[in-house]
Chain A
Amino acid sequence: MALRQWMVTHEWMVKPTRQTEWIDRRGLVFLAAEVFTALGAGLYLVSLLFNNWWGMLVSWIIVMFLKIPLHLIYFGKPWRFWRTIIPFTKTWNTSWLARGVNFNIYFGTVVFFQLVVAYIATNFFPGTVWGTLSFILGIIGGIFALLVGLYGGFMMSYCRSVPFWNTALLPLILLFASVADGFALFMAVGLAGGNVNTAAAETGTQWILIINALMIVAYLWNATYTSKTSKYSAMLLLRGSLAPSFWIGVVGFAIVIPLVISVSSLYIGEAITLLLITAVVLHTIGAVALKYVVLKAGVHNPICPTTTSSYH
């Protein structure tokens, strides 16, 4: 018995072991930062598509004043963040985190100028070179928004020891989810009086939610046969401790209910404000749930060469 007690305390990494650094305790700050990444990048891309200045402004505020500060708070030594910025770091060629930090900075800078130029072009010099400049800056801003929306997924998919993340599908899933979040927030901007084409946004929402659903199905299906550990992660979502968050939060709130509301508006004719608000709120809760379950289901492979019977 004494031997058992002595040993049990060292049963470490001999079974699939959940990563905790990016989700437990202070890791919740990381989760919040990732949620705002998706909301900010997605809203910018959608607003750019619809050429909506207010949407772009809100997305810039989300990235600059919510996402980046939260990431900095998460760091153990936040005041050293400058070491992650080019030219102070040389690891951007291998580190997705270093790349991500720099994408954020470029996004913030370019979009700031784009917002200023677009405002001047619209209100003071319509139909002049200011409009062209705003268009060019918008394209560059869009590229950086795309990279901001992508890098988190690549950061996670780089980790070979977490088979559930170690797939090229993950960055795409997070990017498409980000765009879906963007559509939801875009409608919220419209509800707040931001001059939004709600009908077009709803059509976009329907397509992106269907694509999202298909990608999540493919991702989980793929995870069930890639390795034992990735199957274990997938099962955590489908039947395990994360099932309520996944089925209610991701499937119900983020995809099914907003999709049903969006499709029903086709028959009702005009979107009902209350239903739109419901769809936006539920989808945003679902966006949090998606990041939560993906981070929470990040399970490391055991390090021992043979695996335990309980693992099998």
Chain B
Amino acid sequence: MRWGMVIDLSKCMRCHACIAACRVEHFLPLGMTWPRLIAWEEVPEEYTTYPVRCNHCKEPPCVKVCPTGASQQREDGIVWVDQKKCVGCRYCVIACPYQNRTFLSKDKDSGYFPGYELTNFEKAGKKLYPHTVGTTEKCNFCMERIDAGLAKGLKPGVDRDATPACVNTCPARALAFGDLDDPNSEVRKLIRDKKGFQLHPEYDTEPSIYYIDDGRRGE
């Protein structure tokens, strides 16, 4: 079993809902963003966008360079950071070819309204999903949801309670989640039928995030 995601670029409507969902799900500090929507001007006034997040590589360089073993890979392929072990050396931040790791410095956790009291949302976040200043963070494929869902007998990618928040939230259904090792899973079918591709395969990291693009963007 290896969890993976397929992002359909032709369906993505750049609404940022996935980013907002992640922020709410994990009570992310203001300066921290796990998924991102990157954009650039291919030709004047015409933008190309890619939703990006940790690729949960099969051969993750971030895990190999971590001096403490805080960056780990689970048997289901999810790459995560044990914040209790992270020493904050930032080697993984530099070694990640996709730059999808962020070091949580004090200024990134200064509150949504610096100088004012924390909002109730932030106070709840400090209790429910504490973030440790001085360590590195990244997308964890909502592994808590996956684990809780699996414990209830649910199927990630099919049942909402076992599926990452960003996938559930996407109004255009541009994101699909499932088992890359299962030839009958939706993600595997999408990759096969629509010629899914990964970012920078030349790094030999084998990302678990695939993109599909049938050239009908914006239609």
* Binary flags per residue of A207-249, CB closer than 8 Å to B gives 1, else 0: 0000000000000000000000000000000000000000000
Residues in A with CB closer than 8 Å to B64 are 91, 94-95
Q: Which of A95, A97, A304 contacts B48 (CB 8 A)?
A: A304
A158 and B95: CB pair below 8 A? yes
Residues in B with CB closer than 8 Å to A91 are 64, 66-69
Assess whether B117 is interfacial by the CB under 8 Å rule: no
Assess whether A96 is interfacial by the CB under 8 Å rule: yes
Stretch from B86-94, B140-148, B162-170 that touches the partner: B86-94
Assess whether A122 is interfacial by the CB under 8 Å rule: no
* Binary flags per residue of B78-120, CB closer than 8 Å to A gives 1, else 0: 0000000111111101111111000111000000000000000
Assess whether B65 is interfacial by the CB under 8 Å rule: yes
B203 and A160: CB pair below 8 A? yes
B69 and A90: CB pair below 8 A? yes
Residues in B with CB closer than 8 Å to A301 are 97, 200
Assess whether B129 is interfacial by the CB under 8 Å rule: no
* Binary flags per residue of B14-45, CB closer than 8 Å to A gives 1, else 0: 00000000000000000000001111111100
Stretch from A12-20, A134-142, A260-268, A276-284 that touches the partner: A12-20
Compute how far the CA of A74 lies from the CA of B91 in the bound complex, rounded to whole angstroms.
12
Compute how far the CA of A12 lies from the CA of B19 in the bound complex, rounded to whole angstroms.
15
Assess whether A75 is interfacial by the CB under 8 Å rule: yes
Residues in B with CB closer than 8 Å to A14 are 38-40
Residues in B with CB closer than 8 Å to A94 are 64-65
Assess whether A155 is interfacial by the CB under 8 Å rule: yes
A155 shortest CB reach to chain B, Å: 7
Assess whether A81 is interfacial by the CB under 8 Å rule: yes
> Most A CB atoms within 10 A — which of B36, B66, B94, B203?
B94
Name the residue of chain A whose CB is nearest to the CB of B107.
A25
CB within 8 Å of B: which A288-312 residues: 298, 300-301, 303-306, 308-309
Name the residue of chain B whose CB is nearest to the CB of A162.
B94
Residues in A with CB closer than 8 Å to B149 are none
Residues in A with CB closer than 8 Å to B134 are 75-77
Compute how far the CA of A308 lies from the CA of B47 in the bound complex, rounded to whole angstroms.
11
* Binary flags per residue of B197-214, CB closer than 8 Å to A gives 1, else 0: 101100100000000000
Compute how far the CA of A94 lies from the CA of B64 in the bound complex, rounded to whole angstroms.
5
B88 shortest CB reach to chain A, Å: 2
A303 and B98: CB pair below 8 A? yes
CB within 8 Å of B: which A118-171 residues: 155, 158-162
Name the residue of chain B whose CB is nearest to the CB of A15.
B40
A22 and B96: CB pair below 8 A? no
Q: Which of A83, A92, A309 contacts B85 (CB 8 A)?
A: A83
How many pairs of A and B residues are in contact by the CB < 8 Å rule?
144
> Most A CB atoms within 10 A — which of B70, B95, B135?
B95
B94 and A13: CB pair below 8 A? no
A72 shortest CB reach to chain B, Å: 9
Residues in B with CB closer than 8 Å to A308 are 40-42
Residues in A with CB closer than 8 Å to B41 are 7, 308
Q: Which of B68, B88, B96, B203 contacts A89 (CB 8 A)?
A: B68
B40 and A158: CB pair below 8 A? no
Compute how far the CA of A304 lies from the CA of B85 in the bound complex, rounded to whole angstroms.
32
A95 and B94: CB pair below 8 A? no
Compute how far the CA of A95 lies from the CA of B42 in the bound complex, rounded to whole angstroms.
38
* Binary flags per residue of A1-24, CB closer than 8 Å to B gives 1, else 0: 001000100111111010101100
B206 shortest CB reach to chain A, Å: 13
Assess whether A41 is interfacial by the CB under 8 Å rule: no
Residues in A with CB closer than 8 Å to B85 are 80, 83
Q: Which of A17, A77, A97, A159 contacts B67 (CB 8 A)?
A: A97
Assess whether B133 is interfacial by the CB under 8 Å rule: yes
B67 and A98: CB pair below 8 A? yes
B12 shortest CB reach to chain A, Å: 13
Residues in B with CB closer than 8 Å to A15 are 40
Assess whether A111 is interfacial by the CB under 8 Å rule: no
A11 and B38: CB pair below 8 A? yes
- Once A7-B39, A12-B38 are accepted as A-B contacts, the answer to whether A77 and B135 lie under 8 Å apart by CB is yes
* Binary flags per residue of A69-106, CB closer than 8 Å to B gives 1, else 0: 00000111110110110001111101111100100000
Given contacts A26-B105, A77-B132, 15 further A-B contacts (CB under 8 A): A7-B47, A10-B49, A12-B36, A14-B39, A22-B90, A76-B90, A76-B135, A77-B134, A77-B135, A84-B67, A88-B68, A91-B69, A160-B97, A161-B95, A304-B48
A residues in contact (CB < 8 Å) with B? 3, 7, 10-15, 17, 19, 21-22, 26, 74-78, 80-81, 83-84, 88-92, 94-98, 101, 155, 158-162, 298, 300-301, 303-306, 308-309
